[in-house]
Amino acid sequence: MSSRETILKRLRERSDGPLTAPVSDFAVVTGRGWDAAERVARFERLIGSVHGEVVHTSRASWTDTLAEVLAAKGVMRLALGRQHPVAAEARSALADGGVELVDADRDIEEWQREQFESVDAGLTSTRGGIAETGSLWLWPTPDEPRLISLVPPIHIAVLDADSIEDTFFDVVECHAWAQGMPTNALLISGPSKTADIEQTLAYGVHGPKALVVIVRHTGGVPA
């Protein structure tokens, strides 16, 4: 029996009964009560405060918006997955355009140099957003590996407006992270940034220098 197993055995066989979790009051991290419009507004304001860009569009025309963003940013080579609906729709819409689509579902050793040196942007889906902090949350998959959001100079993320939650606690609770948390969850709040000893922020030093969030609305873009 290993040391770990011995310790766990002793804990399970405590003479005063099993351990129980203490009673906790989580009211401070939940219960904001914001409506959908307020969540979107708070998300945009906070992610914009750290140089994140937000572009609003409808679900029906989001790929047109994507094409406009790519043209405005001068993106010629876009890394993206294949299987997720966001990637599949983007591939279909951009198939006849001037943007080269780079497959992201490959072993990193096959295209590491390419990814770091010649890919202009990475496109990913998102699982949702957090209004309180202006954050995106992603669960990377083999189809959409985490490096396409962390390495290219520009990260383009597609977010559904109705998937924005009030707080991080609400995300963890509503999506049952305790029962099925992935080995790698990403929280993204703006482009890559760091600070020197004088606390001066610098962007794009260790990752994307730009983050563009395409927010998709059901039934059209709010006025």
Alpha helices in 33-135 (DSSP H): 36-48, 62-73, 85-94, 108-117
Residue 17 lies in a domain: no
Model confidence at 14: pLDDT above 70? yes
Residue 28 lies in a domain: no
Closest C-alpha among 61, 76, 35, 48 to residue 158: 61
Residue 21 lies in a domain: no
Q: What is the pLDDT of residues 173-215, one digit of tens each?
A: 999 988 887 778 999 998 887 776 667 777 767 789 999 999 9
Residue 103 lies in a domain: yes
Q: What is the pLDDT of residue 11?
A: 77
Q: Which residues pair with 187 in a beta bridge?
A: 137
Q: Are strands 77-80 and 100-103 parallel, antiparallel or unpaired?
A: parallel
Alpha-carbon distances, residue 9 vs 1, 20, 62, 123, 147 (angstroms):
10, 16, 55, 47, 40
Residue 173 lies in a domain: yes
Which residue range forms the structural domain that includes residue 73? 34-217
pTM of the model: 0.87
Q: What is the pLDDT of residues 31-56, one digit of tens each?
A: 999 999 999 999 999 999 999 999 99
What's the token pair of residue 92?
A: 């279909």
Residue 13 lies in a domain: no
Domain of 51: which CATH number?
A: 3.40.50.10420
> Per the structure, how many domains does the chain have?
1
Residue 46 lies in a domain: yes
What's the token pair of residue 30?
A: 């939940």
